[in-house]
Structures are given as C-alpha cells and as structure tokens.
Homo-oligomer: A and B are copies of this chain.
Amino acid sequence: MSSSVPQKVRGMQDIFGEYQRYFNFLKKVARHEFRKNGFTRISTPIVEMQELIVRSAGIGSDVVSKEMYSFQDRKGRELVLKPESTAGVMRAYLENFLDEPQPVYLYYIEPHFRYDRPQKGRYRQFHQVGAEIIGEIDPVLDAKMIHIGCSVLDNIGLKGRYKLKLNSLGVAKEREKYVQELQSFFEARAHLLDETDIARLRANPLRILDSKNEDVKELLKVAPKITDFLKKESKDFYSKVKAYLDILGVEYEEDHTLVRGLDYYSHTVWEWVDGSGRTQDAFGGGGRYDDLSKNIGHKESVPAVGFALGAERLIETLVDTGVKLRNKDAIHLYFIQLGEDATKMILPLSIEARNRGVNSMLSLGTPSLKVQMKKANRLWARYVAIVGIMEAKKGICQLKDMLNGTQEELRLSDLLDRVVANIDAKELDFYSPTKDFVIEEPKTDSEPSENS
C-alpha cells in the first residue's frame, strides 16, 4: 500500500493494545507501592536545560557525548529531552522542597529519551518508573528503597525471576584512590587490552569494569576492588545497608564490578538483572547520590537515594515469562443496532445500563453485522443485543449470550433486568468519582446564618 504519510520518528513507538495494558498494569502496581510507602508523585518537564543534564551525568558520559536529544528554542536556550528524571527531580527539590519536612519521598512515571541505535527493546523514547528519597542520610533508607523496588518486581509477577546485584562505591576520595590503582593495574597490562578498552581506561577508567572482553573479565578477578578502598565509615554504612536488607528478607549478590553508568553515585549502588539470563540489560537499578546537588551547582551536598525501573524491558520480560493480564474491562453488553430508530431506542438504554453498573458499548457507524460480532468477540462482550429495523418497530431485541452461544428474543424493557441477573454482582461497575471529592461552596457574606 503506497502512502506518503510521514511515519513515526525512527526508534520511537506507539504504545497501544496489549503492550499498553502491560504498561498500565506496571504503572498501577508501582503507583500503589509508592503511595503506600508515603511517596507522592512528581512530574518534571520533558524538557530541561542542557546544562543541568551535562552537570548531572558528567561531561564524559555516553549520555552527554553521544546520546542526548539536544536543541535550541527560538530564544537560543540550549535544551534537552530528558535522558532520565533524577536530575530534574533534584532540581525541583531544590526549587520547591527545601522548607518541607525532610526527607522528601517522591516518585515518577516518565518518558525519557536517548539518541541511541534502535534495537529490539531499546527505544529512543523509553519509560521509567522511579522513586527518590531526598534530604536525609541513613543506610536504612537505601535498604528501604531496594525493598520497595523488589516489591514492585514481585508484584508484577517477577518474584523469584530476578537477581539483585549490590555494591558500594564509598565516597569521592575513596573512589579517586581506587580509580588510580585500577588505572595503574591495567596500564601495566595494556598489551592485553583491545583498543576500545584502552580508550575507556584513559577516558573513564571505571568503565573498564563494563568490558565484554573475556581477558579483561579474567583480569578483573585479580584487579583492585573498590570495597578494599573503603574506610571505616563507608564500610560501616555498607554493612548496615546489608544488615537491614537481611531484616527485610531481601536477597542480594555482591558485585564489586558494579559501578552504574552515571557519575553521581556514592555509597550504595544496585541493579536488578534478569534471573534467567534471557536479557543482558538490567531491569533497573539505583543508588545513593549525595553529590548530585553539588554537581549541578547547589552550594551544599543534599543526601539522596533512588532507583528507576525500565518499563519496556519489564514488559518484554512479563510477556516472555508468560504473565497474562486478566481482562478487567470486559464489556457486559454490546449493542448492535441497524437504522436510526434502533439507535434512538438504544441510546437511553445505554445510559440506564451505566447507572445499573453494566458496562455497555454501542456499535455505531455502519459496519456489517459480521464485523460487529467480531468486534464484540474481541472486546470479550458477555452479551450482544441486536436491534434491527423490525425489532425497533416491535420494541424488542435479539439477545445473544456469548458464553454459551444461545440466543433469545426479549422486550427492550426487560433487557437490563435479564443482563444484570446473569452477571456476577462483583463484576458490576459502580465506581463513581463523586465519592472522591466534595465541593465547598464559597460562602457569601450576605447569607443569614441560622441563628441570626
């Protein structure tokens, strides 16, 4: 089929149908988990000042040097489509939350962008659910964050299907020392490295820990380990995180090569990886980022810990794992009507259906009966009521029970009684937003009070 409609932007996707249902499910589970733990939602703008992102991710990072969607607005401001939300949340915190009781618990569900080579499961617009606790430092916060992330994974159906990798990066001074030693170690063995790894070693030595080269992986077993460079305070902090994880029943694997991609982490870092080894990428991860506030230009260090989970990776894993969502939005009653008279009889019935908790849907437009039945099937409709021209004259309908395939003729005035009687009362939908709010009428001063 030839068509010159501009296509969707390369590497981005429309989310609909079954994929959207998984996405909604993930969002619902995450929202519930975060709320029940006292987090409130924040949505920072899709667009941030480029300077914020550069300072936060670090000038040498892949994000900044290769993967950023950056552009100028009409006034020449340097902007980016945010590659992640932590920098924006910290910015928003500094602008709005310093005078609130600390620490502040925030969560987000946001689209992020990277100008990356599109591959299966890696999109240029991708989505993350994440949370941050900002304003206090305590190892129990790190443990609690990890526990919450595990709960989200457990509750979407991945219990027992992921592994938690854990490490500590200590503080900046300890890391500096370690980086020097790591660099020396590999410089002395430079003849064993390929060009990519030599480049990594010179630009950002920590990235050698992500090498896929088998020789390097062997060397890493005997190379200096970050945990050997931690002083007492950092060691204590890390021990406490692990002790709290034990109390919370969270299992973890220590991985001394885990450093995460971004510059801003200190102390605890972690990643959730697929337990089956089916996918290479992590489901998500997090860490403590006490230095981020200073990196982006704030005068003080603000302790913080957070994590993010990748929606696309999780959805693919749910599908691969065989997690099937129950269809809760099934239509109880699907109307098929032919002609205007039938339509006019059906419209008020569809409103009455709503009031009686019955989810109904009208087949509007002019498709054939066959197409309409196909649609009713796709929507898992329990009943189909057919009102043709003859039926409309007589005020009756043909009611088809889609579960057992039977069909009967009955009066339109009896239709809803029949349907309601045959649907499990628990399935009827009486949600009304009016219970969620009250309207406080503005008081007029002139109104006399009861006692006057």
Q: Which residues of A contact B (CB under 8 A)?
A: 2-10, 12-17, 20, 23-25, 28-29, 32, 35-38, 40-49, 51-52, 55, 69, 71-74, 77, 79, 81, 88, 91-92, 94-96, 101-103, 106, 111, 113, 115, 125, 133, 135-138, 140-141, 144, 155-157, 240, 243-244, 247-249, 293, 296-299, 321-326, 328-329, 331, 340, 343-344, 347-348, 351, 354, 359, 361-362, 364-367, 371-372, 374-375, 378-379, 429, 431-442
The complex places the Cα of A333 from the Cα of B220 at a distance, in Å, of 47
Contact of A69 among B73, B115, B135, B442 (CB under 8 A): B73
Q: Min CB distance, A194 to chain B, in Å?
A: 26
The complex places the Cα of A359 from the Cα of B436 at a distance, in Å, of 19
Interface centre among A20, A48, A73, A331 (most CB of B within 10 A): A73
Do A433 and B29 form a contact, CB below 8 Å, given A49-B7, A81-B47, A94-B5? Answer: yes
A36 to B, closest residue via Cβ: B359
Once the chains bind, are B365 and A49 in contact (CB under 8 Å)?
Answer: no
A300 to B, closest residue via Cβ: B3
**Known contacts A8-B45, A20-B42; can you find 11 more A-B pairs with CB under 8 A?**
A6-B55, A6-B91, A9-B49, A14-B42, A15-B42, A36-B354, A46-B113, A47-B81, A144-B364, A247-B344, A247-B347
Once the chains bind, are A331 and B6 in contact (CB under 8 Å)?
Answer: no
25 residue pairs A–B, Cβ–Cβ below 8 Å:
A4-B297, A5-B52, A5-B94, A8-B48, A9-B45, A9-B48, A9-B77, A14-B42, A14-B44, A25-B437, A28-B436, A29-B433, A36-B359, A37-B361, A38-B379, A46-B81, A74-B115, A102-B367, A133-B364, A136-B365, A136-B367, A157-B433, A248-B347, A324-B438, A326-B435
Once the chains bind, are A244 and B347 in contact (CB under 8 Å)?
Answer: yes
The complex places the Cα of A354 from the Cα of B38 at a distance, in Å, of 12
A42 to B, closest residue via Cβ: B16
Once the chains bind, are B364 and A141 in contact (CB under 8 Å)?
Answer: yes
How many copies of this kind of chain does the complex include? 2
Q: Which residues of B contact A28 (CB under 8 A)?
A: 433, 436
Once the chains bind, are B48 and A46 in contact (CB under 8 Å)?
Answer: no
Once the chains bind, are A45 and B13 in contact (CB under 8 Å)?
Answer: yes
The complex places the Cα of A439 from the Cα of B154 at a distance, in Å, of 12
The complex places the Cα of A137 from the Cα of B240 at a distance, in Å, of 65
Do A157 and B36 form a contact, CB below 8 Å, given A16-B42, A41-B16, A71-B71? Answer: no
Once the chains bind, are A16 and B40 in contact (CB under 8 Å)?
Answer: yes
Q: Which residues of B contact A365 (CB under 8 A)?
A: 102-103, 135-138, 141
Do A52 and B6 form a contact, CB below 8 Å, given A29-B433, A141-B364, A343-B140? Answer: yes
Once the chains bind, are A73 and B115 in contact (CB under 8 Å)?
Answer: yes
Do A101 and B371 form a contact, CB below 8 Å, given A9-B45, A439-B322? Answer: yes
The complex places the Cα of A15 from the Cα of B95 at a distance, in Å, of 12
Interface centre among A20, A364, A365, A439 (most CB of B within 10 A): A364
Do A156 and B322 form a contact, CB below 8 Å, given A36-B359, A347-B244? Answer: no
Do A297 and B6 form a contact, CB below 8 Å, given A248-B351, A347-B140? Answer: yes
Once the chains bind, are B20 and A43 in contact (CB under 8 Å)?
Answer: yes
A48 to B, closest residue via Cβ: B9
Q: Min CB distance, A123 to chain B, in Å?
A: 9
The complex places the Cα of A423 from the Cα of B243 at a distance, in Å, of 33
Contact of A45 among B12, B133, B140 (CB under 8 A): B12
The complex places the Cα of A38 from the Cα of B329 at a distance, in Å, of 8
A13 to B, closest residue via Cβ: B45
Q: Which residues of B contact A103 (CB under 8 A)?
A: 364-365, 367
